[in-house]
Amino acid sequence: MSNQVAVFRKESFNAAHRLFNPAWDEATNAKVFGKCALPNYHGHNYELVVKVTGVPDPETGYVMDMKELSDLVQELIVERFDHRNLNLDTVEFRNLNPTAENIAVVCWQLLRPRIPAVLDLQVRLYETPRNYVEYPA
Amino acid sequence: MSNQVAVFRKESFNAAHRLFNPAWDEATNAKVFGKCALPNYHGHNYELVVKVTGVPDPETGYVMDMKELSDLVQELIVERFDHRNLNLDTVEFRNLNPTAENIAVVCWQLLRPRIPAVLDLQVRLYETPRNYVEYPA
Amino acid sequence: MSNQVAVFRKESFNAAHRLFNPAWDEATNAKVFGKCALPNYHGHNYELVVKVTGVPDPETGYVMDMKELSDLVQELIVERFDHRNLNLDTVEFRNLNPTAENIAVVCWQLLRPRIPAVLDLQVRLYETPRNYVEYPA
Amino acid sequence: MSNQVAVFRKESFNAAHRLFNPAWDEATNAKVFGKCALPNYHGHNYELVVKVTGVPDPETGYVMDMKELSDLVQELIVERFDHRNLNLDTVEFRNLNPTAENIAVVCWQLLRPRIPAVLDLQVRLYETPRNYVEYPA
Amino acid sequence: MSNQVAVFRKESFNAAHRLFNPAWDEATNAKVFGKCALPNYHGHNYELVVKVTGVPDPETGYVMDMKELSDLVQELIVERFDHRNLNLDTVEFRNLNPTAENIAVVCWQLLRPRIPAVLDLQVRLYETPRNYVEYPA
Amino acid sequence: MSNQVAVFRKESFNAAHRLFNPAWDEATNAKVFGKCALPNYHGHNYELVVKVTGVPDPETGYVMDMKELSDLVQELIVERFDHRNLNLDTVEFRNLNPTAENIAVVCWQLLRPRIPAVLDLQVRLYETPRNYVEYPA
């Protein structure tokens, strides 16, 4: 029996974005991305659930202190993306289409170096309560 | 005893906005509106709950057909604001700061003429799950 | 300043129903009630929120014991309607169209005599998370 | 590191059903299925979460367009089961007991041929907020 | 037509409590309060929704800045009650039974002097997702 | 293709706890556990989701009767922990720090012998809506 436990912490950020491939003309963007390609942006209340998996420390009973995990997500993700325009205000999405899939991968890449290497990391990103993604799958 | 019943219908739209008073300089806007005044917009998954109050029709048992109510909110609110930038893309907020309070009042004003006059109307607008407003109070 | 407090208790029941006016022909029923008139019934996870308002008893700090309120809703509503077909299995809706509006009024009428007269009673009934009603309004 | 991402889309349908094994007598059905075997049906607000896993297309940033995924679930699941009696109105459950487990397997079987073969598919079905199932496990 | 708008802000705190009337013997407390009177305390994730009603300021579009409202609830309620034992650690409930009703009244009394007098104040307190109270009613 | 299905059942209990390592002095406990180490306890509305995986019985269509699963969780977990102080009232946490991780492992250990051996078992425990854990991971 594995003695691994996963801990999850949910944080939120509100951001604007539009979906757009600069290699395509406007008509192709409109055809592929529909309303999501409208030029003046729309936005979402993003919810990010960070899952960290490992063996609890016998002295603390923690896989990882959720307060530390929360602080890390605040520092690395929320301060960067909250109340921002993902396309215009961030280096991460200057040349990367801010689909939910890509945002989740970027969040994972930003967090991974700061989570102890012995622990596994997965993120789930809610774009709306009905649309969400998980990385790695 | 009143024989009035209220019916509620919830719809959603995703939009970008920023809070800004053009009569003020940037520093005052930043002081008053904080991150909400950042120039490139952010966004929300808005949820609009429309409440209609009246006496159920004895033949149908309906105060108002919720399908009709839903269609009305789709036509008058969701098609107008969904995937739009409230500041740039709408006539309603060209000269009106798109705070949750003002958006709720505008939604009420758009719906009121199309709801039968004998029925009362109130709207609740969720900007986030933790911030919401109601009009009229 | 009023010293009245309202207490709310939520209970659930799962039931089948169809909307139908026997004074009308099938075509009129289909036109007015759409899919809700389909002959073999559909169903919902109904959620009933009971609101009781009064002055807290200084000895207990309770407006009404929520355990008693929960037991009352279980006895009078859940045992009667849970896992039932509202049209076929209940006397209440044998001759009354089981719209959300009418179900809410019936729930209120079943509960009212058993709630102390000094306390106000209101019910909210969720037919779905996006459609709900309140009585009295 | 896997470069697979999972995308999830949630849709809803409201249906009536009863649990019943025609090979058994009524007493055995009542003993095994309890209130779920009552003869006149009950119902639920079913919520179906469809999970599709694959490598995002570098041109779109999509594993699969969630609008297409939503349309597919609407066409194949919601139009078939919404406002229907699963036992009486569907070919799928004419000879199959409509437990949450069986409904989930049927939803997967209906969707699988229409999802690109290179993508994995899993479904989660909520019968109530407290009872749900996942297939394949 | 009223031009009043209500704004709502939700905050959370986690606390322990027990229900107990020191004027009664243990048997009476056990009879009246059941499991809630157990001597070593239990606890809840309390959610407090603060509702403030008034006319939006035409310059800001705000009834009250929700950030200020959030800070006020943090300062006056969350810092006082979060991760505390209501019976042992607070002056407010040293001689007052910490029922949901009484906690809501105390939260209102703590907030009222710090909300501008021209604005109305109401609080809703969730003890669990199924049990909640509102003051004033 | 696997023919395994997972069934999930959610139950709740409200309990008090504090985090504390008796091998450490008070200052170390305060440093490591922060507000969670405060001496007079705080509490939570815990939500436990039990996941049981196996092949549905062809006669019932059930992996496991969710009513039986619910009864089992009530008997083994809710009756033991609901309205209790985990540190003071339970043998399980007399010498084990009641972190979410440890509570989840204990719930799994209590349930495992009573779930048929052919079925897999996993538990998810919500301490708050934003903090939760899963075992085994």
Q: What is the pTM of this model?
A: 0.97
| pLDDT tens digits for range E62-101 | 999 999 999 999 999 999 999 999 999 999 999 999 999 9
Do D102 and F56 lie within an 8 Å CB cutoff?
yes
Q: Which of residues 73-102 of E touch B (CB under 8 A)?
A: none
Chain E's closest residue to B34, CA to CA, is E67
- The two structure tokens encoding residue A105: 């991968």
Reported as a pLDDT band with limits 50, 70 and 90, residue F2 is confident
Do B137 and E10 lie within an 8 Å CB cutoff?
no
Q: What residues in E contact C9, CB-CB < 8 Å?
A: 130-131
| pLDDT tens digits for range F51-93 | 999 999 999 999 999 999 999 999 999 999 999 999 999 999 9
Euclidean distance between CA atoms A67 and A121, whole angstroms: 16
Instruction: Tell me what pLDDT residue B2 has.
Output: 76
Region F110-129 average pLDDT:
98
- The two structure tokens encoding residue D81: 């089961």
Q: Is residue C96 part of a domain?
A: yes
Euclidean distance between CA atoms B129 and B121, whole angstroms: 22
The CB density around residue E121, as the number of other CB atoms within 10 Å, is: 19
Reported as a pLDDT band with limits 50, 70 and 90, residue E1 is low
Q: What residues in B contact A17, CB-CB < 8 Å?
A: 43
Do A53 and F19 lie within an 8 Å CB cutoff?
no
Confirm or reject contact between D13 and chain A (CB < 8 A).
no
| pLDDT tens digits for range D12-26 | 999 999 999 999 999
Instruction: Tell me what pLDDT residue D83 has.
Output: 98
Amino acid at A135: Y
Confirm or reject contact between E50 and chain B (CB < 8 A).
no
Do F6 and D133 lie within an 8 Å CB cutoff?
yes
Q: Which residues of D are catalytic?
A: 36, 83, 127
| pLDDT tens digits for range D69-126 | 999 999 999 999 999 999 999 999 999 999 999 999 999 999 999 999 999 999 999 9
What's E77's domain CATH number? 3.30.479.10
Exposure string over D95-126, b if 16+ CB within 10 A, otherwise e: ebbbbbbbbbbbbbebbeeebeeebebbbbbb
- Beta bridge partner(s), residue B14: B45
- The two structure tokens encoding residue D112: 């699988």
Helices (H) and strands (E) in chain E, counts: 5, 4
What distance in Å separates residue F101's CA from the closest CA in chain A? 6
- The two structure tokens encoding residue F80: 């033991």
F1 pLDDT exceeds 70?
Answer: no
Instruction: Tell me what pLDDT residue C69 has.
Output: 98
Chain A's closest residue to D48, CA to CA, is A130
Q: What residues in D contact A49, CB-CB < 8 Å?
A: none
Chain C's closest residue to B4, CA to CA, is C137
Active site residue F127: yes
Q: Is residue D122 part of a domain?
A: yes
Q: Is residue F67 part of a domain?
A: yes
Do D43 and C41 lie within an 8 Å CB cutoff?
yes
Q: Is residue B33 part of a domain?
A: no
DSSP 8-state assignment for residue C59: T
E39 pLDDT exceeds 90?
Answer: yes
| Residue among A40, D128, A64 at smallest CA distance from B89 | A40
Residue of D17, D41, D84 with shortest CB distance to C38 = D84
| pLDDT tens digits for range F15-55 | 999 999 999 999 999 999 999 999 999 999 999 999 999 99
Q: What residues in C contact B62, CB-CB < 8 Å?
A: 99, 101
If one counts the domains in chain D, the total is 1
Q: Is residue C38 part of a domain?
A: no
* Rounded percentage of chain E residues whose pLDDT exceeds 70: 99
D1 pLDDT exceeds 70?
Answer: no
Whether chains D and B touch (3+ CB pairs under 8 A) is answered by no
Do E16 and F82 lie within an 8 Å CB cutoff?
no
Q: Is residue B9 part of a domain?
A: yes
The CB density around residue C64, as the number of other CB atoms within 10 Å, is: 21
What distance in Å separates residue C88's CA from the closest CA in chain D? 7
Q: Which residues of B are catalytic?
A: 36, 83, 127
Amino acid at D50: V
DSSP E65-103: -HHHHHHHHIIIIIHHHTTSBHHHH-STTSSS---HHHH
* Rounded percentage of chain B residues whose pLDDT exceeds 70: 99
Residue of E36, E43, E128 with shortest CB distance to F42 = E43
Reported as a pLDDT band with limits 50, 70 and 90, residue D136 is very high
Which segments in chain C show pLDDT lower than 50? none
- Beta bridge partner(s), residue C13: C46
Instruction: Tell me what pLDDT residue E2 has.
Output: 76
Whether chains F and E touch (3+ CB pairs under 8 A) is answered by yes
- Containing domain of residue A88, as a range? 5-14+44-135
Chain E's closest residue to B24, CA to CA, is E59
| Residue among A14, A6, A9, A3 at smallest CA distance from A80 | A14
The greatest distance separating any two alpha carbons of chain B, rounded to the nearest whole angstrom, comes to 60
Instruction: Tell me what pLDDT residue A1 has.
Output: 55
Q: Is residue D22 part of a domain?
A: no
pLDDT along chain A (137 residues), means of 10: 91 98 96 97 98 98 98 98 98 97 98 98 98 98
Instruction: Tell me what pLDDT residue B1 has.
Output: 55
D37 pLDDT exceeds 70?
Answer: yes
- The two structure tokens encoding residue A86: 């993902």
Which segments in chain B show pLDDT lower than 50? none
* Residue E125 and residue E47 in contact, taking contact as beta carbons nearer than 8 Å: yes
Q: Is residue F34 part of a domain?
A: no
Confirm or reject contact between D19 and chain F (CB < 8 A).
yes
